[in-house]
Amino acid sequence: MKEERLRPESLSPKEHQQYFEQLPAAQGHQSFTEQAVEGALFAQLVGKARGMDKLSFGALRLLWEREKKRILELVKAVVGTGRHRAMWKWASEVVIPKAGMDDYMKLMAYRSFSLLCCMGKVIEEVVAELMGEEDERRGLRSDGQYGSRKRRSRIDVAAIMVNRANVACSQGHIAGVLLMDFKAAFLSVGRRRLIHAMR
C-alpha cells in the first residue's frame, strides 16, 4: 500500500540491499506557477481572522495587485530554502462560546480557533499542491487512495465497491463492506484524554 511505496523513497537502504541512485535535489521552487500562488491567495475568504502580524487576506490581495513580483519572490525563497518563517508558525488561540448551548459550564459549549498568519497559509497551500503533484508524478500514492487527490471522489469509491460486490456475487462469493471510524482509532482524540489534556 502507501507505506510500501513511501518506504524506499524515504528511508536509506540497508547494507544487504542493492544500491539505490541518489534522488535529485528538490526543484519545487522552480515548479510552482504564478497561477498556483494566486489560486492559493484568492481561495481564502477575505473575512478570515488574521494572525499575529495582523495582515489580512484582503490586504494581501491588494498587495498582489500592486506588488505581485515581491510576493512571488517570497514564495520562491521559502519553497527553495525549505524554511518556514517562525512568525508564520505562531498562533493565537481564541475560544468562543457556541450559540444555543444549554450549559456553558461544559467544555463542549465552546469552540477554539488557531489564528495563523495569512501569508503562511498561502505558502502552505502552494507547498501542499507541489507535494501532491510530486507524489502523483513519482507514483508514491497507492492506487487505492482516493482522499485528497484530483479527479477522484467518494462517489468513485462507492462505485468501485458496488462493482466489486456485484462481481463477487456473480462468481458465487459473499461480499461485504466494513466501514471504520478512524477518528476513534487514535487515542489522542479520545474524549477523556482530550479533555484531560485541555485542562
Grouping H, G, I as helix, E, B as strand and the rest as coil, residue 9 is: helix
Q: What is the pLDDT of residue 65?
A: 92
Say whether both 57 and 96 belong to one domain: yes
Say whether both 100 and 140 belong to one domain: yes
Say whether both 83 and 176 belong to one domain: no
- On the question of pLDDT at 15 being above 60, the answer is no
- On the question of pLDDT at 115 being above 80, the answer is yes
Q: What is the pLDDT of residue 193?
A: 66
Say whether both 50 and 7 belong to one domain: yes
Say whether both 46 and 122 belong to one domain: yes
Write down the mean pLDDT value for the chain.
76
Q: Give the tens place of pLDDT for each residue, 36-45.
A: 899 999 998 8
Say whether both 94 and 148 belong to one domain: yes
User: Rounded to an integer, what distance in angstroms lies between the CA atom of residue 57 and that of residue 122?
Assistant: 9
**Complete DSSP assignment for 70-89:** HHHHHHHHHHHHT---GGGG
Q: Give the tens place of pLDDT for each residue, 41-87.
A: 999 888 888 888 888 899 999 999 999 999 999 888 888 777 878 88
Count up the domains in the chain and report the number.
Answer: 2
Q: What pTM did the predictor assign?
A: 0.58
Say whether both 145 and 171 belong to one domain: no
Q: What is the pLDDT of residue 180?
A: 62
Say whether both 147 and 182 belong to one domain: no
Specify the amino acid at residue 161: M
Say whether both 7 and 58 belong to one domain: yes
Say whether both 97 and 56 belong to one domain: yes
Specify the amino acid at residue 196: H
Give residue 9's pLDDT band: very low, low, confident or very high (50, 70, 90). very low
Say whether both 109 and 95 belong to one domain: yes
Residue-number span of the structural domain to which 142 is assigned: 2-152
